[in-house]
Amino acid sequence: MFCNGFVFFRPLTGGSCDRLVTCCQRFLSNPPYKCHFASSSHNKIALDKVNIIVNICSVKEIKFYKTQSGKVPVKEFLDSLSSKHAQKVIWVLELVERLNQIPVQYFKKLKNTDNIWEVRARVGSNSFRILGFIDGDEFIILTNGFSKKSQKTPKKEIKLAEKRKADYLSRKRGKT
């Protein structure tokens, strides 16, 4: 609910508003957002210069793609990161899973692809990407992750995500 420059949070069923406000404080404190935080007991954040609607819900669930041999490439990628880097990537994944409207700095649809999306995390000068796709209205399937070294997303990573998407959907159709 948005009203006069305030964002009101609706807690998840059985969830704690304090944890939610803490998460959103970190999120909204990053540029380009400048915020003044009201008491967490009021569950609202006064925004300065930016009007943003933040609806918290559990509509999407993130799942990791699993190969036919049982490997989980995104889990392997996360395990390869330092704890500091992994912590930031996981924090971004939580935002993607919980927010209805996700800022493009964290989740973006890639152009000229087969509906491939990228989860975007940055720690200092290090950029990390996890590619995937949306399966229906409920799931985001993440297929592969990598450290981004250049301005453009490498075509081989996009092709890998598209190949794994096709494999996932093919196996899903085979089960029904």
- Angle in degrees, 0-180, between the axes of helices 17-29 and 83-98, rounded to the nearest 10: 110
- Write out the two tokens for 143: 């297929």
pLDDT digits (tens, 9 = 90+) for 9-25: 333 334 443 444 444 44
pLDDT score recorded for residue 176: 54
User: Does the pTM exceed 0.85?
Assistant: no
Query: Within 10 Å of residue 109's Cβ, how many Cβ atoms?
Result: 12
d(CA 56, CA 68): 34
Length of the chain (residues): 176
d(CA 13, CA 25): 20
pLDDT score recorded for residue 99: 84
Give the DSSP letter of residue 70. S
pLDDT score recorded for residue 100: 78
Residues with pLDDT less than 70, the chain: 1-59, 176
